[in-house]
Every structure is written in structure tokens, then in C-alpha cells.
Chain A
Amino acid sequence: MTTALAIDRLRVTFDDFTALKDVSLAVESGESYGLVGESGSGKSTLLRAVAGLAPVSGGTINVNGKRLGRHRDKAFYREVQMVFQDPYGSLHPRQTVDRLLLEPLAIHGFDNSERRIMRALDEVGLGSGFRFRYSHQLSGGQRQRVAIARALILEPSILLLDEPTSALDASVQAEVLNLLEQVRADRKLTFVMVSHDLAVIAHMCDRLMVMQNGEEVEQLTAAELTARRVERDYTRNLLVASEGFRSGA
């Protein structure tokens, strides 16, 4: 098996604040890898660093055996696509869904854009009725589906997914998770997926890292998580908290 993504002692520093402190992980090609952990612990920063959007101050990132430099070229974005956490910020509000989907196709010189756009909308459960809506005319979940369609339309081999379903209701979440599993199987994709929902990560991922305060807490397999065979108290607390709210606390 080949390694799709290898991160070694990655460090990200904003001015004098270190958001990622020497984090290492390796994701095999075709594997689905999860990131969970405290809010603000650096999960999005890790994905953004891979995508070339965070100030890396140490360590290395290899994608499909190639070490990444400071800048990402066009070829990189054909291989690696990211779905951002914030479905509002990541889509230009004054563009129609059609334009948003057409743009990456045009940049990368894909043919058959008409067919690809229709298929992409269909895949994420948005009918053609949404094609000429502006993104500010969509609900939160509808926007997130457009963002996923936009990432998939370039047929990348690695997909970085930052909370891809946290803006979606359970029924649409199930559809999107099924869709993501389906395309991963069909196209042999590699996923790195952030979610605060342990059940989503256990469902979607083979292995995962628990993070806190810019550092790794532990790495474990989904099977270990499910069997509650965890090493660290923080992970155990997350498992307990997943069971819901208890009043009077």
C-alpha cells in the first residue's frame, strides 16, 4: 500500500501562537482517517496546512510521495480538494450554483461541463431547480451540499473534509455520508475528515486521531473507539459526552 498523505512533526504558528505542535500522521491511499477533538485544537488548521492555507513553521507534508513546498500548483488541486467547515464563507454569495460549479471545471480544462454539473448536483441530492440560485438564497445545509459537489466535480484522489455534515439534518447527513462512502469506494479516494461527532467518525473512518490544544492526544482505530478501548481520559470524556445532555449539571 502507498501512503497518500504523510505529515511529519507539523508545526503551524500564527504570530507567537502555536496552533499545531509537531503533529505527525500517515494516511494510506484509499484509507479514511478521522480527526476529532477539542474546539480550537487545530483540526481545521491541519487540513488548511495541507491545502497550503496556513503558515507552516516546521515539519513536512508529503502527498502521494511528493514533498510539498510552500506553494501549491494547479496539479495539486486536481489531486487534493477541501470542503471547508464554514459553508457560508466558502461560497461566494453573489454567484449562482452553476457558476460555482463551472469555475473549477473551466480552470482545469474539463470537458462536458454541462453533464458534469447536472451529475454533481444530482449526487448531492440537489435537483436542477437549484442550479441557477445564488448561494445566499440557499439554506445552510443546501450550501454545504453545493460545497461538496464542487469538491467532487474535479474527481480528486484525496478529499479533506472539515465538518462536512455538521450543518445538515440527520436525513441529509445520512445521504451525504452514504454518498461520500460510495464515491470513496468507486473512485478509491482517500479521506481526511474532521467531525466533532464521534459516531460520524466511527461510522466513516478506519482510524482517527484525537486532538487537544494543538497536539495529538492519541491515535486509534475506529474499532478500538467503538469497543471503548481508549488510553486517555480526554477521549473517554468525549465518549461520555456523546451520550447527550443531562440537566441539573
Chain B
Amino acid sequence: MNPLLTVEDLHVRFPTRTGVVEAVRGVSFTLGRERLGIVGESGSGKSQTGRAIMGLTPTHAEISAKRMEFDGIDLLRAPPAQRRALRGNRIAMILQDPKYSLNPVMTIGRQIVETLRTHEKVSQAEARKRALAMLEAVQIRDAARVYDLYPHEVSGGMGQRAMIAMMLVAGPELLIADEPTSALDVTVQLEVLGILDRLVRERGMGLIFISHDLRLVSSFCDRVIVMYAGKIVEELAASELSRAEHPYTQGLLDCMPRIGADRHPLPVLERKPEWAL
């Protein structure tokens, strides 16, 4: 079977005043209808990889790849109109910064309704009902109140869940979720993962799950890519994470605080320059 997404030798570069920043340096992977985790150090290029697939790379950046294909569509050569159409419908991304990506002058409810109505012809009343149901599905307490709030009036985790609700109404085939649960308390986090899990298992969605939470990724994903300095340094089955070979991955596993382990200070990574080669 053909994979849903193929990425081969992706590069993203930013020219800046102090030189070129190589944010992504030759990333390759394929994705089927599965849950692929991307973990890695802060600044290692996880978000920029996701944005490149979405077509959300800033215009002044240089982007290149040998191949970047979604369901047979060449993303690098697709005209802007086709990419926009894909973005609204078949490919969706939950951005890392929910408040920044929600429209600040529109209520949460209206944003979900507008997304829904670009996909389906439904009456205003029906759209409202569906939007409220979505907010409840992502475990928002008091959905009717939150429906009428502006983004700056909701908590960090509520903003994140509003983004997820918008994605749910769009029903994409490929979802890139960039730290979608980093602001959620652990019980709500599990509910949200349950929703994503069902979309993969029941609707056959492909999921790229970007996270720095290794514990979560290894319990949730099928496969994990580990990035360091813009490159993939290791790829493993999620269940094999504890058998990771790269010292960066091993170090990551060791430096998390654990309940009951009294380690002060926490072990930190000794980064080796050769990891970035």
C-alpha cells in the first residue's frame, strides 16, 4: 500500500542577520494510517517539519526536498490554491501556540461554527449544537459559557482544546498535532488522546504527534522519530523506546523527574558536538 505521506530529504533554512539557521536538515520519513511520534530537543526542528508539510513555512525561509507527497499529490509543486484547499480539508495541524493561532477577536464558538460551515452545509442552529457537542467531547466544563468567550478569556488548556475541537469538525485524513496536550492536566490529556486514538483506529487518519513528553509518546504512538539539531537521529517502535541506542534518546529518558525518585539535581545531557553532524 502507498503511504499517506512521504517526506524525503526535507530542508528548511532561515536567513537571519547573524547567518543562516538550518532548522531542518534532511528529514525523511513515511506515514501510513498510524500514530507517528516526533520527539526531540527544543529547537530541533519538530514544528518546522510539521509546518513545511502543512505549507505554513514563513515566506522568507528556503524550503527544499527530494520528495514531499501526500496521497500522490506533490506538495512542493502544488499550486497555492490547491495547498490552501488541502490545508482546510484533508490536512490539519494543531499549532503549538493555541492562543496565537485562534482569532483573537472572534469567540471560540463562532470559530468552530465557521470551520464547520466551510465543510458542511448546516443551519446556524445545527452548527451551534454541533460546536457545543465538540467542546463537550474535549471535556470542556460548562461548554455553553466557553462558547461565548474570546481566546484571551479561556485558560491555556481550554484554548488548546478549542483548537482540537476545530480540528475535529474538519475531519482531516492527516493530522499534525504539535504539542496538543502540553497544557492539559493529566486526566483531560488522556481523554484527548483517546479521541485522537479513535480517529486513527476508526477513521484511518494518519497522525503526526509532536511532543517533548517521551513517556506520553511511548505509551501512545506506534512509532517514534527522535530529532536532534534538525536531523533524525533515531527511529524506533514506540514500545522499544526503553531500548533506544542514541545517547541523546537515552539521556532524554533518564532526565525526567519521576514521582518517588529523589534526584537533586536531575541528570542532564552532555551534548556531544558529533550528534549534530
Contacts and interface: CB of A to CB of B under 8 A. Distances in A.
Interface string A169-212: 11111110110011000000000000011111011100000000
Contact of B17 (A85, A132, A139, A241): A132
Contacts of B96: 140, 167
Interface stretch (B62-70, B82-90, B123-131, B153-161): B153-161
Interface string A13-40: 0100100000000000000000011111
Interface stretch (B108-116, B164-172, B257-265): B257-265
Interface residues of A, number: 60
A137 B17 CA distance: 11
A142 B189 contact: no
Given A38-B188, A169-B39, A174 B255 contact: yes
B158 A241 contact: no
A245 B190 contact: yes
Contact of B268 (A139, A175, A197, A244): A175
B100 to A, nearest CB: 5
A119 B219 CA distance: 39
Contacts of A86: 97, 99, 156
Interface residues of B, number: 64
A112 interface: no
20 contacts: A37-B185, A39-B158, A40-B154, A40-B158, A85-B183, A86-B97, A139-B47, A140-B97, A168-B212, A174-B265, A175-B268, A181-B264, A202-B259, A238-B186, A239-B259, A242-B186, A242-B259, A244-B215, A245-B190, A245-B219
A89 B257 contact: no
The list of the 4 closest CB pairs from A to B, nearest first, reads A141-B42, A39-B157, A169-B212, A244-B219
Interface of A: 14, 17, 36-41, 44-45, 85-89, 129, 132-133, 137-142, 163, 166-175, 177-178, 181-182, 196-200, 202-204, 213, 225-226, 237-239, 241-242, 244-247, 249
B267 interface: yes
Contacts of A197: 186, 257
A13 to B, nearest CB: 13
Contacts of B47: 139-140
Contact of B99 (A14, A88, A202, A247): A88
Contact of A139 (B42, B145, B213): B42
B193 interface: yes
B126 to A, nearest CB: 27
A140 B259 contact: no
B156 A177 contact: no
A201 to B, nearest CB: 9
B185 A203 contact: no
B257 A202 contact: yes
A86 B101 CA distance: 12
